[in-house]
Structure 1
Amino acid sequence: MLRLLLIFILFSALSVSGHAQTTAPGDPPAHTAAASANVDAFIRIIENDETRLELINRLRERGGEIAVAPEEASPSLATQVAEYTRQAAEQLSDGTMLAASAATELVGVFSGAGGRLANLQTAFLEIAVVAAVLLAVFFALRALIRWIKTSLARRAIGGSFVVVLVSVVIALVLEWASVGTAWAAGYFTALQAATGELGRMSLSQTLLLNAFLVVETIKAVLRATLQPRDPALRFLPLSDTSAAYWHFWLARLTSLVGYTFLFIAPLLANNVSPALAQALRVLVLFVALVTVIIIVLQNKSAVRTALSARAAEEGGNPLSRSLPLIARYWHVVAIAYAVAIFLVWMVNPTNALPFMLAATAQTVLAIVVASVVIYGVNRFVHGGLHLPQDIRTRLPLLEHRLNAFVPRVMQVVRFLVILCAVLFITQAWALLDFSGWLVSEAGTRVTGAVASAGIIVLIGFAIYIAMSSWVEYRLNPQIGHVATAREKTLLSLFRNAFTIALAVLITMLALAQIGVNIAPLLAGAGVLGLAIGFGAQKFVQDIITGAFIQFENIMNEGDVVQAGGQSGVVEHLTIRSVSIRSADGTLHVIPFSSVDAVSNMMRGFSYHVADIGVAYREDIGEVKEAMGEAFDLLMQTEHKDSIVDALEMQGVTALGDSAVNVRARIKTLPGKHWGAGRAYNEIIKTVFGRRGIELPYPHMTIYMGEDKQGNAPPLHIEGLTPSAPATPTVQANPGTIEPKPA
């Protein structure tokens, strides 16, 4: 209350002071004296420290606030619609009256009333010479440019994208140059015709030149875009008939509306009557509206078919799924929009129409830019990424990796382009103040966080590509030295571990940038890791055992090992398990917790152990000599490079039931003993056969015993057939049975 009272005192003092200044000099200064007293009292309160402090304390205690008058509530949507409807009805009523007034004005012009016909004739005479020069120069330059564009089109046939783009840009520059040159010639002629030297020009001439510059520039852009006569320079996917059709109608509508609104209507308003000019505008815009409706209805089926085919071709992305709905109702939206433009112009041409036209132009621009970008993205995705031959040689998997990742990136880019286009359109139609939100504190914070998170993800992807390419380069046998099995194993494990660590780190950093508190996530990860450590002991055992196996270099990829009851080639190693491919092609995945022992058959060197069984009757020295001969023959084969030492003869190792075992060893490179052993066995068979050394079949010797004189008892054998069997006789050598004829 004290604050309000203080403000009221100041306001009263100023008001009284101002009122006093307006009184006559002879009036009594009563109000002035009262105001001065109030001001002096307030000054005394402020100058005294105790009273000023007391005033401040009272203001704090009371917490008085200055009452603010409530703002007027904005009108509701229904009120706005009603207001526009009322304005539209009034404008239509005014349009009827305007038509009658325009007819009266037109009759007055031709009757010569008020000299308006003379004014109109004077204006036409002023622009006649300028128009003649303007059109003559323009059409002469168009003929020259027509010849140049034909030459450019011939060169662009079969050319690359860059050649066609440069040709289109040159043609567009020439079109603009022709418009600018003709405009400059008309401007110079207007100045010369006005005074005989460079000086002033009339308003009618200025209207003509400005209208020509604007309208012909738009038509030049249409010609460069549609290229009705030069298909080789046309980027839009249109046939020659469609391009000529759209150029014809768009150019006519541009000329009709542009020259009417920029030249003819202002000329009539200045020289004849504003009512007649406005009636002409209404008539021309109504004709343009009817023309647009006819064009839309003519192309309803064609556009529907094209959009449906495009939807079927693109697939299942969100933009393509919306195309069938657009194809069904696009003509209704187009006609409604054209009618809305006409009604808005009728109701509020000063404010609403410029806003709607500007929003429409921005919408078309956003759609065109987004379509071009999406078209380029689709072409890039379908064409694929091709690296130079040198890079493909050094990094053969890089191109495949990039081509597998690029489509996903392009999907994100396509989504961002569509989102930007939608936001731009909503901003243009004032449906959403996105630019205002961007410059606000919240918008700056959100966009900065999202941009930072996106940059972090891109950097993480670049690091992943660089790391994978480096590992691929180190494992490429065509570049540099050939990687050992140990390097292959460690690099593969490093790539897997680095990828997991990088993904976790990038995810945490990105979440931190967008405002997510990662401290609970880290704490939760620690608790989860502890729970896993207690609950998944086998898993922890797998990891610990695998880590020690890798540290001790027990096995590597490509080794032939026996682990976990399985034997075969190690195909893949992780920190938790080993994948072994057995000889029959079965892949065994063995967790390290089940591996008690590892037998690696490919460390340092290998031995082929040749245990050859020969008959008891063979001479061991001859057998050794034959085995040495077989080794010499082996050294003449392709296996000689795999054998690292001479034949190691170990002699007789066992006296078996049916054979004497003679052992020799062949020392080879790691893993080469299997091939060398198979070849040695083949040669042994050939050498023994040539020397007559028997490789006995398994047999049994029967011993019947002997008496004290050393004679063995006879062995009686009964025949199984009716014929008289041979009666065997037993010789002195026990166990040897010789048949004797009966």
Structure 2
Amino acid sequence: MTGAIQKVIFTCTLALFVSFFALAPSTGLAQDTSSELPAPLQPEAMQKLVSDLDPEQVEALTDLMTLLQQSAAAGEAAAAAPEGPGFVAQLQMAAGNFGGMVAGHFQNLPDLFTSLFAAIGALFSGAIAGPIHILIGAIALILAAGFAGEFLVNRLMATRRDTIQNKSPESLFETVKIVSTRAGFDLGGLIIFAVIALIVARVAVFDPVTRSYALQAVFWIVFMPRLVAALLRFALAPNRSELRLVTADDPTAKSLYHNFTTLFAVVGVAFFLRNLMEGAGTDAGGTFRFFVGFGVNAWIIAVIWKARHGLTSIILGDEHDPTSGLERMARFWPYFSMAFIAFNWLLVQFTASMGVDALTAGRSLAVIALVVFAPFLDTMVRGIVSHIVPPMQGEGPVAEAAHLQTRHSYVRIARVALLAFLVLVVGRIYGLNLLALGGDDGSAVARNSVIFLLILAAGYLAWEITNLWVAHQLAKDSPPAESQDDDAEMGGAGKSRLATILPLMRVVLQITIITLTALLALSQLGINITPLLAGAGVIGLAIGFGAQTLVQDVVSGVFFLMDDAFRLGEFIDTGGTQGTIEKISIRSLQLRGTKGAVHIVPYGQIPKLTNLSRDWVIMKLKFTVPFDTDVEKVRKLFKKIGQEIMEMEEFKDDLLAPFKGQGVADVDDVGIVVRGKFTTKPGKQFGVRKEIYKRVQRAFEENDIQFARKEVRVQLPENTNLDDKQKEALASAAAAASAAETGKPPA
């Protein structure tokens, strides 16, 4: 063991000296070093030292010296290598290449026309696809056979077509069914056309070159525009607005249909001419593709600009009350589409100037088609959502708002999924596998970026799921809206306990989701979140010490909610402040007073809480009758009135105990005070009270019972002779004296 350690130490020491002398030439210290070496390290001493080594040490020393020499050579090469251009220089170089390419294309315009005419001349001379008359005959034969087959299929389906043509849909489902059937007939006819055309071309056209060009002409100039027209008829139905799957007026639908059909016909002719130029060997480089691409993109931008208002209507759809976000997106999308189309064309040309051919014309056209038809996909998403959204649960405005919130959440989730799909497809078209960037084989920056976006998407999904769950529970637990009497002084029955707590739970969950999503996203970007957590703890501690009133309010509110002391919609008394609960926050209550005033009451300032809307309400009514009234008769009248009201449709479900008399409650200087009472659901007592007052007044009149009035009686001696004026003056004086005694003005 000791010998091995000694060998290692010896080897390391020797390596240090050898490395010093190996690196000496690069540092200028190797000039005549043999004469300056100390005696122990003279060449003779070195040779003697090496001769004393065993074979293993010599081999290790040789390998070490070889490695050091390779490292020194690599260092010298790296030092001698020139530095590459910087980012700004590379950008200037790329911009120069792009400008040079554009200028070159304009300079090549004469050559382009020369090449194009040469290719057309070679076609008519028979140098490309054989004799021109044979090519034209082959094209005519293929078209005739294809159209004949398609005509026979349409004749067989004529009855069904006429049925669809004359049938008017009554629902969205029938509209989709009719349009899908019609599109199936159209596409089926095109498939028959293509199959028969291929078979006839294979059987009747013997020259493979002639057959190839004939099929190219049929495909690009005839089949492709008809296929696009069939797809546009499916979505736009330009001639039948009742079958239109999108919300667009007739001018917009017809304009989009005719413009895009004509555009693809022109594109088909351009592709056929490009093949002719390649076949004739007169291809003018990328000049033809440059100008065709420019013309196609400019055409699409012009079509979108002309139909921008119609595209906005398509995105808005049939929303009667669209959200502000949907309105902004609908107005913004046409302009975004035009900007993106211009950017896509510039990107294709810019990459072409750098020698990158990944973004071909076909890929560029596919990306443009996705962007242009994104509003149609959004309409399709809304249509699907309208069928999968669960029906509204419960009744009333709360249930309606919850159902609307559920529908909006479904639409937003579907739009996020649609956007993710479009981004992935566009990335694929551009040659980027965005999903693979998040794998272990992707770069660190790309992987972290993809994971960052996934975290944001997961947080948004959690947010929407929270909204969906809360909306579902609110719709299920909220009773329908009930009309309240104009004379009502207090709120009716409150909502359920869950409906009261759910809004607070939603706020807490949303804050938690935002916090966790932000922290995880920042962590994925490489930001150290430990100081943020520590700072949040310090801030929370400072708030706890410095805002004791706030903490008291929050803690008191938690215990009030745990005790189920109040619910939304209930009428409460917080020790001097009364009102109906309209809103509950983490710190305070919002009460609507009987006169319309809004009271904000912090939980910590509620000494006691009286709930006047829980379970049932007893209302007691007092009536003052003269002293000579038959109290038993009054009791029977009250009982009869209570039975009549219990049988009324308006009140029978709200009365828990009928109105009945309670006998004499008091006797004052005016008369006898009789009392009656009844029990109702919270908030329903006022309508019953109004009906009872009306019926008691009528019953008293029918039975000659008068309500007692306050009277002042003046007793005069029997032999007093006073005229009417004197009696009236005496009565006024007595009334004034009585009023002065009681503190009330005379009646």
> Structure 2: any 5+ residue segments left out of the alignment?
1-16, 24-48, 169-174, 239-252, 316-326, 482-491, 732-737, 739-747
| Counterpart in the other structure of 1:166 | 184
The yes-or-no answer on 1:531 pairing with 2:542 is yes
Could you tell me how far 1:714 is from its partner in structure 2? 9.5
The AA in structure 1 aligned to 2:195 is: A
Pick the aligned partner of 1:653 from 655, 666, 670. 666
* 1:6-25 correspondence to structure 2 within 5 Å: none
Pick the aligned partner of 2:603 from 586, 592, 595. 592
Could you tell me how far 1:491 is from its partner in structure 2? 0.8
Question: Could you say what secondary structure the match of 2:386 adopts?
Answer: coil
Change (3 A) 1:510 1:235: farther
The count of aligned residue pairs is 604
The yes-or-no answer on 1:375 pairing with 2:384 is no
Query: Which range moved further: 585-594 or 386-395?
Result: 386-395
- 2:461, 2:261 → 1: CA distance? 46
Is the contact between residue 572 and residue 612 of structure 2 (CA under 8 Å) also seen in structure 1? yes
Could you tell me how far 1:447 is from its partner in structure 2? 0.8
| Counterpart in the other structure of 1:541 | 552
* 1:89-168 correspondence to structure 2 within 5 Å: 136-137=141-142, 139-146=144-151, 148=153, 157=165, 160=176, 161-168=179-186
Pick the aligned partner of 1:222 from 221, 224, 239. 224
- 2:301, 2:66 → 1: CA distance? 79
Pick the aligned partner of 1:501 from 489, 508, 515. 508
The AA in structure 1 aligned to 2:218 is: E
Is the contact between residue 578 and residue 591 of structure 2 (CA under 8 Å) also seen in structure 1? yes
Change (3 A) 1:449 1:301: closer
- 2:620, 2:701 → 1: CA distance? 21
The AA in structure 1 aligned to 2:274 is: V
The AA in structure 2 aligned to 1:401 is: Q
The yes-or-no answer on 1:627 pairing with 2:634 is yes
- 2:144, 2:635 → 1: CA distance? 105
- 2:416, 2:463 → 1: CA distance? 16
Could you tell me how far 1:475 is from its partner in structure 2? 3.1
The yes-or-no answer on 1:48 pairing with 2:56 is yes
| Counterpart in the other structure of 1:30 | none
| Counterpart in the other structure of 2:199 | 181
Is the contact between residue 385 and residue 402 of structure 1 (CA under 8 Å) also seen in structure 2? no
State the superposition RMSD in angstroms. Answer: 6.0
Is the contact between residue 479 and residue 495 of structure 2 (CA under 8 Å) also seen in structure 1? no
The AA in structure 1 aligned to 2:657 is: V
| Counterpart in the other structure of 2:448 | 445
The AA in structure 2 aligned to 1:696 is: A
Q: For the pair shown, which has the larger CA radius of gyration, 1 or 2?
A: 1
Is the contact between residue 605 and residue 667 of structure 1 (CA under 8 Å) also seen in structure 2? no
> Structure 1: any 5+ residue segments left out of the alignment?
8-40, 107-116, 191-204, 266-277, 479-484, 705-711, 729-734, 736-742
Is the contact between residue 631 and residue 647 of structure 1 (CA under 8 Å) also seen in structure 2? yes
The AA in structure 2 aligned to 1:261 is: E
TM-score by length of 1: 0.62
Is the contact between residue 308 and residue 334 of structure 2 (CA under 8 Å) also seen in structure 1? no
Change (3 A) 1:47 1:493: farther
| Counterpart in the other structure of 2:363 | 362
Query: Which range moved further: 60-69 or 596-605?
Result: 60-69
The AA in structure 2 aligned to 1:136 is: L
| Counterpart in the other structure of 1:13 | none
Could you tell me how far 1:226 is from its partner in structure 2? 4.3
Is the contact between residue 145 and residue 175 of structure 1 (CA under 8 Å) also seen in structure 2? yes
- 2:719, 2:402 → 1: CA distance? 86
| Counterpart in the other structure of 1:402 | 406
Is the contact between residue 493 and residue 681 of structure 2 (CA under 8 Å) also seen in structure 1? no
Pick the aligned partner of 2:460 from 457, 461, 464. 457
- 1:337, 1:598 → 2: CA distance? 69
Could you tell me how far 1:490 is from its partner in structure 2? 1.6
TM-score by length of 2: 0.62
Question: Could you say what secondary structure the match of 2:677 adopts?
Answer: strand
| Counterpart in the other structure of 2:711 | 699
- 2:192, 2:689 → 1: CA distance? 84
- 2:108, 2:723 → 1: CA distance? 138
Is the contact between residue 545 and residue 593 of structure 1 (CA under 8 Å) also seen in structure 2? yes
Could you tell me how far 1:363 is from its partner in structure 2? 1.3
Change (3 A) 1:165 1:493: same
* Bigger relative contact order (CA 8 A; separation at least 6): 2
- 2:293, 2:388 → 1: CA distance? 54
Of all paired residues, the percent bearing the same amino acid is 14
The AA in structure 1 aligned to 2:74 is: I
Could you tell me how far 1:182 is from its partner in structure 2? 3.0
Write out per-residue CA displacement over residues 176-198 of structure 1, whole angstroms, 9 at most, x where no aligned residue.
31342134325xx74xxxxxxxx
Could you tell me how far 1:252 is from its partner in structure 2? 4.0
Is the contact between residue 225 and residue 265 of structure 2 (CA under 8 Å) also seen in structure 1? no
Pick the aligned partner of 2:675 from 657, 664, 669. 664
Change (3 A) 1:397 1:472: same
Query: Which range moved further: 597-606 or 68-77?
Result: 68-77
